[in-house]
Amino acid sequence: MTKLQTEEEYVDDTPTCKGCGDEMYWTDCWNCDEDGYSHHECGEDTCVCLYPENNVTCEFCEGKGGYYICINSKCKNYVKDSD
């Protein structure tokens, strides 16, 4: 909440865990870059691309570059952060 906002105007967009109701926090995906792509796939058996760029959407974060984790270690949805 900034000093310019009143308590009534403040809207918290942090999601809550569906398992326990605690706040969740964002963590960067371990499998991809911030752009949400995990690797390069050009459709060829042997890639001959001069400058291959990642173009396959990450399967773990669904291309979002990260995901939310429950902060409650006793919750069934809790995932230990690898950092």
**pLDDT surpasses 50 at 73:** yes
- Going 56 to 62 to 64 to 68, the CA torsion angle's sign is negative
Give the model confidence (pLDDT) of 15-64 as tens digits. 888 888 888 888 899 999 788 999 888 887 778 888 888 888 999 899 99
| Domain boundaries, given as residue ranges, for the chain | 27-76
Contact 51, 44 (CB under 8 A): no
Retrieve residue 52's tokens: 């291959």
Contact 22, 75 (CB under 8 A): yes
